[in-house]
Structure 1
C-alpha cells in the first residue's frame, strides 16, 4: 500500500483491484475484531460486510463518485460499514395490516417481472444508482436507454397491478 494515491485511483479506475485485495487481506482480522466489539458481528459476517463495503468503494471510484482517496482509508471504510449496517437493519416497527398486505402484493407482482426489469428497478430504487450507472451495470448504450427501460418496467408493473386488482 505504499504506491502513490493518484496511481492507486488510476489502477482502480481501469479495473486493477490488487490494492483492494491487499487492503482486505491486511485489515480483515482487525475489522472483524472491531465489528464484534462495536456491532456484535461474528467474523464470517464481518468479513462479508468488509467485502461488500470494498465493492461499494470500488464502484464509487470506478464511476467517478470518489475522485480522491480519503486521508484515512481505514476510517472511511469503517464509516461505510456503519452506514451499511444502519441501512440493512430491519425496521422494528410493525406495519399496519393493510400496508403489509399491499407490500406483499407488490412483491408478488414484482416477482412476475422479467429478471432484467427487476434488476433495473432494484438498481434505481433500492441502490440509488443514477441512470448512467444503471446503464453501465446493465450494459445499455447510455443513460437515456436506462431511463426508458425503467419507465417500461414501471409500466409493466402498473399493468400487472391493474390485472391483479380486476
Structure 2
C-alpha cells in the first residue's frame, strides 16, 4: 500500500469518528513535540502536551466537518504549524486590557454563560470559529442554514434580554 492510500484511509477513518490515528499520533509524538515546544517557544512539557491535544482536536474538527479534504503529506509539520499559530495568537492577545474593557467582557461572559448550551454553541460556532450558517446547521443538526440563522437570531435576542434584565435590576 502506498503512502497516498494510507493517507486516504486515515482521512476516511477520521471522518467516520475513528480517532485511533490521533490517539496513536499523540502517544508517539508528545515527547518530540514537547522538546520542540520547549526549544522554539519556551513551553513547559505539560503546557506542550495540552497544546498538542488542542491542535489534534482542532485538526479532527477540520476533517470531520469537511474543511480538510486531503491530508497533508507531512502531517507532523502541518500540526506543528498549527501549534505555532496558536502560540502566536496567544502571544498577541495577552496584552492587558483597560479595566473598563476587562470588566465589560467579564460581564458579557457571565451573561453568555446563562444561555442554554445550544445557544452557546451556535454563537461560538458563528462568531468565534467563523462558521457559515450551513456549517453551523451541520454541526448542530439543524435542517438547513435558514434554521441556523433563525436560531442564532433567537440566541442573540436572549442575550440582549438578559443584558436588559440585569441592567434594570442593577446587577
Q: Indicate the residue corresponding to 1:26 in structure 2.
A: 28
Q: Indicate the residue corresponding to 1:62 in structure 2.
A: 64
Provide the alpha-carbon RMSD of the alignment. Answer: 2.3
Q: Indicate the residue corresponding to 1:147 in structure 2.
A: 149
Q: Using a 3 Å threshold, how does the CA distance of structure 1 residues 35 and 112 change in structure 2: closer, same or farther?
A: same
* Inter-partner Cα distance in structure 1 for 2:85 and 2:114: 31
Of residues 41, 47, 50 in structure 2, which corresponds to 1:39? 41
Q: Indicate the residue corresponding to 2:50 in structure 1.
A: 48
Map 1:6-21 onto structure 2 (within 5 A).
Answer: 6-21=8-23
**Runs (4+) off by over 6 Å:** none
Structure 1 length as normaliser, TM-score?
0.85
* Inter-partner Cα distance in structure 1 for 2:132 and 2:150: 13
Of residues 119-128 and 48-57 in structure 1, the stretch that sits farther from structure 2 once superposed is 119-128
Gaps of 5+ in 1: none
Q: Indicate the residue corresponding to 2:80 in structure 1.
A: 78
* Inter-partner Cα distance in structure 1 for 2:93 and 2:75: 30
* Inter-partner Cα distance in structure 2 for 1:146 and 1:100: 30
* Inter-partner Cα distance in structure 2 for 1:28 and 1:6: 24
Q: Work out the number of aligned pairs and report it.
A: 166
